[in-house]
Structure 1
């Protein structure tokens, strides 16, 4: 039996790395959120919670928070519904289903920068392929300025984000589906269960762990979304797609309000943490009940 001291010695490298790259930066960020640092001047002042008081009364912060929540809800719901349906469709051993699994996963391995530029081109109101395609099939009246119109910009970015990450969710759901014993479905067939009964009473309860993982990944990823919005709209038009991450970037780097921007980052971290813990407790309870 190994001595406790030996076990702690093996844990020490990981603990040092975690402390150096996670804990110390987090503590530094919290400290800078209590200052008026502009990100450039080596001299700054400790101002306490003034940055936090300021953001409570900042209407732009509330708009960004609303946009972030809307984005997260749309992405989480539609991405998981779509990916679960597709996972059920491609669950099998035929060559076409194996091909589709790879096909759906390709966008997830591309960079957000490339995807943002590609879809910005597709959405372009003048020479974009989406409007051109609508014109060619006689639906020219449906053509829109997809990224320039506040009514459509959020939905356009949400669609692009779902397109990128649905493949990853499919892989996770497939792992859950393939872990379900085949004899359970055979028993359901013997009992005369319909397709819906097979799904609702066998499939859905038994993929609860995969559902938990996908929901958490979707929530966390969409609540801190930055890259795809920055490339496609930079938070515009106006503040129609401005998320908390985009606002943080603007305050810290465009207006040299590093202390204020860091306070937004701290608040965003707390919000994501609370939502994630709340979701995890609910989803874990569902796993136990299932």
Structure 2
């Protein structure tokens, strides 16, 4: 019994922190999603599933969900492809490889607020560096209102997000690459395997755990995206870049519909939970097979 109590005492601090900052907020969010609370009035009226019924029939919610899915798919695919290529590129012991790793990682150390303002300036259609550069090299016809045009605004934000976070995914892939025994590559080289065969049969299967981590991080982060979009477009133009998190913020804090906004948060939580469980089961199966 004494050993059991010691174990409980060691677990208790982490359990309390987890309960206070995770479990209790989730339970309270579910409760508030069933009310018409405006965030200020001390009187809270229970309305049952009314918010969820309104949510299902709200076209703006479906637009925000579509934008969020598009953002998540683009970010997940391109971030993992780019970061894996970067990891393969700088996976060496020479000094300049270490320099390149630092360079690629620097954007992830900056705040989303700073990055949003920097790239908003770069994307500016009048004095932005991107359009100015295109005009100076004779490609002025390619200049766009990158954030003001609904056709380009989402892709512009996706590119900015990739620029910020590809370095983090690169580090995770590098950890996976460096865990692979050099003996395997030597054996493949002796057997006459080419670079692509070596990557296909050795590298790609053995970085499966890193692949799982990066996919999960990309998906979860993309479905919760708020800061970079809010800084750069606030969900505009119109609703072209409005994500579920942006819509949640507008409903809860701009229109004082805290109960309705919380119902959006609960739906986001369920979507992320379901996708994560489904995705994790598939990726874990791939790890075992690899």
What SS is found at the alignment partner of 2:37? Answer: coil
Give the distance between the partners of 2:2 and 2:115, measured in 1 at CA.
51
Which position in structure 2 is the counterpart of 1:168? 168
**Structure 1 position 289 matched with structure 2 position 289:** yes
Alignment RMSD, CA only?
0.9
2: CA distance, partners of 1:224 / 1:17 = 22
2:13 match: 13
Superposed CA deviations along residues 70-128 of structure 1, whole A, max 9, x for unmatched, are: 00000000010010011001000111111000000000010000000000000000000
Alpha-carbon distance between aligned partners in 2 of 1:90 and 1:2, rounded to the nearest angstrom: 52
**Corresponding residue SS for 2:148:** coil
1:100-115 equivalences in 2 (<5 Å): 100-115=100-115
Q: Structure 1 CA distance, aligned partners of 2:53 and 2:283?
A: 34
Q: CA deviation at 1:44?
A: 2.0
Give the Cα separation in 1 of the matches to 2:2 and 2:139. Answer: 72
Structure 1 unaligned runs (5+)? none
Match of residue 185 from structure 1: 185
Distance in 2, matches of 1:269 and 1:129, equals 39
Aligned residue in 2 for 1:159: 159
Tell me the distance in 2 between the aligned counterparts of 1:22 and 1:89: 39
The answer for the alignment partner of 2:209 in structure 1 is: 209
Match of 2:237 in 1: 237
1:88 corresponds in structure 2 to 88
Q: 2:43 corresponds to which residue?
A: 43
CA shift for structure 1 position 2: 6.4
Structure 1 position 67 matched with structure 2 position 67: yes
**TM-score of the superposition, structure 1-length normalised?**
0.99
Cα distance in 2 for partners of 1:28, 1:191 equals: 61
- What CA distance in whole angstroms lies between the structure 1 residues aligned with 2:16 and 2:227? 30
Structure 2 residue matching 1:151: 3-state secondary structure:
helix
TM-aligned CA deviation for residue 38 of structure 1: 0.5
TM-score (norm 2): 0.99
Distance (whole Å) between structure 1 residues aligned to residue 115 and residue 17 of structure 2? 33
Partner of 1:248: 248
Divergent runs of 4+, >3 A:
none
Cα drift, residue 5 of structure 1: 2.2
2:165 aligned with 1:137: no
Instruction: Describe the SS at the equivalent of 1:193.
Output: coil
